[in-house]
Amino acid sequence: DEQVGFLRGLLALMTPGFWIAVGSLAFVLLIVGVAAWAAERRRNAEQFGGGVLRGIGNGFWFSAVTMTTVGYGDKAPMSLPGRVIALVWMFTSIIVISTFTGTIASSITAASLQSKVRGPEDLDRARVGTLSSTATELALRDRGISPRGFQTVEDGLEALESGLLDAFVHDAPILTYAIGESHSGVIRVLDARFDLRPYAIVVPEGSPALEGLNRALLEVTESAEWRAQVLRWVGP
């Protein structure tokens, strides 16, 4: 599982977001490098002189080592404008490198958490779990899927979070509630449904409690408090 997470992290380096961050950083380094070269090319020709490309390249190198606090010492501004540019860049680069590091960390984290299951059509090639001896298990087997059985929803969600499963399939309201209680931000319920089945309450035929039960259900489900609780625990 650690190897899988590591590989997903490497794949994050291939995402557009990563390369946009790298390109943006290189562009900022280039701007600072050009500014340093323009300020130093006459008074400090030994370090920043030469042709345009060579001079800008030296400026780029200076801005890069200054940003990373390596400071090899092979490039140092001598003019007042050059020193001002270097001083401003030293403080600015703290923000730049922090932003860049945060962007890369976010990309790698997002890739490592990305699920390979995006809908019911992906379940046949994934490690799937569900509650044992339930209608959900039968529905999965009808689709040619052999799920791993669990005794409780929490057991299944823990297996999913630890990487033993790619997906855990069960009733959406129950999953939404359970995830909100103890797995929020780590596991999410996909906006995909299949094999929809209504819930029902069974009473003996001709039971006198039926009419009162129906009235009570209508009163509860039509109330603002009920809708607020559903929104809180299950979602819209």
Q: What is the pLDDT along the chain (236 residues), one digit of tens a residue?
A: 445 555 555 655 666 777 888 888 899 999 999 999 999 988 888 888 878 899 899 999 999 988 887 666 677 888 899 899 999 999 998 888 888 888 777 766 665 555 678 788 889 889 999 999 998 999 999 999 999 999 999 999 999 988 899 999 999 889 988 988 888 778 888 888 887 877 888 889 889 999 999 999 999 999 999 999 888 877 76
> Domain check: are 108 and 128 in the same one?
no
The DSSP annotation for 43-75 comes to TTHHHH-SSHHHHHHHHHHHHHHHHTT---SS-
What the block records as the tokens of 147 is 């799920």
- Cα separation, 189 vs 118, in Å, equals 10
CATH of residue 107:
1.10.287.70
Q: Residue 137 carries which side chain, given as an amino acid letter?
A: E
**Buried residues in 168-186 as b, exposed as e (16+ CB within 10 A):** bbbebeebebbbeeebeee
> Domain check: are 134 and 213 in the same one?
no
Using a cut of 0.75, tell me whether the model's pTM lies above it: no
> Domain check: are 101 and 11 in the same one?
yes
Domain range holding 72? 2-113
> Domain check: are 83 and 126 in the same one?
no
> Domain check: are 195 and 230 in the same one?
no
> Domain check: are 194 and 228 in the same one?
no
- Cα separation, 172 vs 155, in Å, equals 16
Question: Within its chain, how far is the Cα of 141 from the centroid?
Answer: 31
> Domain check: are 223 and 143 in the same one?
no
> Domain check: are 152 and 102 in the same one?
no
- Cα separation, 180 vs 187, in Å, equals 9
Of 53, 85, 113, which marks where a domain is finished? 113
- Cα separation, 187 vs 156, in Å, equals 12
At CB < 8 A and 24+ separation, what contacts does 5-10 make?
Answer: 5/112, 5/163, 8/111, 8/112, 8/114, 9/108, 9/111, 9/112
Q: Please name the helix (run of DSSP H) or strand (run of DSSP E) that holds residue 191, with its range, or none.
A: none
> Domain check: are 160 and 214 in the same one?
no
The candidate with the shortest Cα–Cα distance to 58, out of 76, 78, 37, is 37
The candidate with the shortest Cα–Cα distance to 1, out of 76, 113, 77, is 113
> Domain check: are 107 and 147 in the same one?
no
> Domain check: are 151 and 189 in the same one?
yes
Q: Is 142 exposed, middle or buried (0-12, 13-18, 19+ CB in 10 A)?
A: exposed
Number of compact structural domains in the chain = 3
DSSP 141: H
